[in-house]
Amino acid sequence: MPQPPTLKISEIFFSAAGEGLRQGEPTVFIRLSGCNLRCSFCDTRYAWKGGKELRPDEIIGQIALIKKKYRVNWVCLTGGEPLLQDLRPLVRLLKKAGYRIHLETNGTRPLSFKPDWLTVSPKPPEYKITGDGRRLAAEVKLVVCRSLKLEEIKRIRQKFPGKIPLLLQPQSNAAWSYKKAWGLYWQAVQAGLKNIRLSCQLQKIYGTK
Ligand code: SF4
């Protein structure tokens, strides 16, 4: 029987989820290599290129080793942009092994499967979001970069159902970044935008991955 194709993997590691509404949950991260965007504020540039070719069963084997050490039920597929690769064979194995799957995407690619939790994090300058992303997002995460303005937040808010939280996440731990996120948060709340949440990246506060 032919083997499913390999995936290009940047890294696999255990940590507490650092971003979004799943913050703090024990999670195995599978970072896929390659991205179709080149955001100036990207903090995972090392995942743009390279990566190790691994078969889905080899990835499951690595997760099983992690699971021997930590009680963990969530796996987060992130990148780079994970939807540039065919995730379906890996997802089948993950589901068979009983994991819950969190997918983190920039929203520019159609979904190839339905995750248990979907984070859509649209990126400038276009903030392109596919129909799948709009329908299935559990949360929308906006990086508060230097160019982000209230008008853009309003435009993105309208693309998703009001019940889906929209998180404003500082770009970095720099003072300007927190200040800007705080300012935009208040403007958005005062403008009456639905379900706006102020957020942060736990991994940058705790100095973890
Ligand atoms: S979409 Fe994400 S991974 Fe890709 S360049 Fe932008 S911040 Fe980096």
CA–centroid distance, residue 1 to ligand 1 (Å): 36
Residues 156-197: tens digit of each pLDDT: 999 999 999 999 999 999 999 999 999 999 999 999 999 999
List, chain by chain if needed, residues with CB within 6 Å of any ligand 1 atom: 35, 37-39, 42, 44, 79-81, 106, 123
The confidence score (pLDDT) of residue 1 equals 62
Calculate the alpha carbon distances from 188 to 174, 184, 192, 195, 208 in Å: 21, 6, 6, 10, 30
CATH class, range 7-206? alpha beta
Residues 32-86: tens digit of each pLDDT: 999 999 999 999 999 999 999 999 999 999 999 999 999 999 999 999 999 999 9
pTM of the model: 0.97
Residues 108-128: tens digit of each pLDDT: 999 999 999 999 999 999 999
| Residue type present at position 82 | P
Q: Is it the case that residue 100 has pLDDT exceeding 70? A: yes
Domain layout of the chain by residue ranges: 7-206
Q: Categorize the per-residue pLDDT at 209 as very low, low, confident or very high, splitting at 50, 70 and 90.
A: confident
State which of 10, 33, 37, 103 you would mutate to test the pocket of ligand 1, scoring each by most atoms of that ligand within 8 A of its C-beta: 37
Closest Cα to atom 7 of ligand 1: 42
Give the full edge-to-edge strand order of the sheet including 196-198: 52-54, 7-16, 26-32, 74-78, 100-105, 117-120, 139-144, 166-170, 196-198
CA–centroid distance, residue 94 to ligand 1 (Å): 25
Closest Cα to atom 6 of ligand 1: 39
Q: Is it the case that residue 2 has pLDDT exceeding 80? A: no
The mean per-residue pLDDT over the stretch 87-104 comes to 98
The mean per-residue pLDDT over the stretch 7-36 comes to 98
* CB neighbourhood size of 1 (10 A): 3
Q: Strand (E) positions, 61-200? A: 74-78, 100-105, 117-120, 139-144, 166-170, 196-198
- Ligand 1 atom with the smallest distance to the CA of 143 is 7
